[in-house]
Amino acid sequence: MPEGDTIFRAARTLQRALGGSTVVVFESMLPALNRLEIKGRTIVRVSTAGKHLLMHFSGGLVLRTHMRMNGSWHIYRRGEAWRRPRRDMRVVVATEDFEAVGFSIPEAELIATRDLGRHDGLRRLGPDLLGETFDSGEALRRLRERGDMTVADALLNQRILAGIGNVYKSEVLFLCRVNPFTVVAALGDRQLASIVETARRLLRANVSEGLAAMTTYTGFRRTTRRDDPKERLWVYGRARLPCRRCGTPIGISKEGTDARLTYWCAECQKPQP
């Protein structure tokens, strides 16, 4: 599933290509998106709310999309060949110069701008780690409310913190030397604050202006600050390989209702005493 930084970068790229332009073609394989006229509207801006991408049109209308596991947005010059088959297309938004194609997007709907604040999936989001007005105090409060959850599960809960996915979950907890299976109630305030601060720092570092991408980009995400692409992550995807700090083989486990993979070092992330 694309994480918050991927969605943020996709929105930024869409904004640069489409922002301020008039829609000349709007097409969708989803019947609900064809009930309102989008052609002729201006694309005012493209923004994000956690893992939700929001394309704002003139006339008070917003296209909300969520990528889930397999969705992605591509940008093409008009007339350029798509890199995925047409059967995967879910929505096309085109201007005179560019064509944005949403492939395999499972969630897409048009919402009146005035109704965004009441949208169930948006209003329940926790503080957005990439938001300009991120509220760390509220994030800590929401974590404390879920004291019976493991910290790994809590970080994936978008109603607590918006933007973290499986990669950052494992990487953040490694950097903070916290065992992923520790319940939130067992962690001190300083530990929780460090987890939140580290998550925000990593996500922000991976949306720097020097990076450009239109789709998912796991091959470019980096948490180690190392130049070698093979050494870009600490633990994620490195099951049974030696820990970059101590040499202990990295562990892997499927956790939660969705059996999400967790990676950790048993030596560097010992359980709470």
Q: Which residues are catalytic?
A: 2-3, 51
- Domain spans, the chain: 4-123, 136-264
Structure tokens, 3: 């994480």
Strands 89-94 and 98-103: antiparallel
d(CA 28, CA 106): 12
pLDDT of 257 reads: 64
Looking up tokens 């300009």 gives: 132
Q: What is the 3-state secondary structure (H, E, C) of 44-110?
A: EEEEEECCEEEEEECCCEEEEEECCCCCEEEEEECCCCCCCCHHHEEEEEECCCEEEEEECCCEEEE
d(CA 17, CA 93): 11
pLDDT cut 90: percent of the chain above it: 85
Q: For residues 121-132, give the mean pLDDT.
A: 94
pLDDT at 156 over 50: yes
Q: Are 13 and 215 in contact (CB under 8 A)?
A: no
- 51-110 pLDDT, tens digit per residue, is 999 999 999 999 999 998 889 999 999 999 999 999 999 999 999 999 999 999 999 999
pTM of the full predicted structure? 0.90
- Give 4-123's CATH code, choosing from 3.20.190.10, 3.40.50.12500, 3.20.20.70, 3.40.50.2300: 3.20.190.10
Query: Can you say how many angstroms the Cα of residue 230 is from the centroid of all Cα atoms in its chain?
Result: 22
pLDDT at 217 over 60: no
Helix (H) or strand (E) holding 180: none
Domain 136-264 grouped into CATH 1.10.8.50: yes
d(CA 153, CA 146): 10
Sign of the four-CA dihedral 145, 149, 150, 154:
negative
Structure tokens, 245: 């700090």
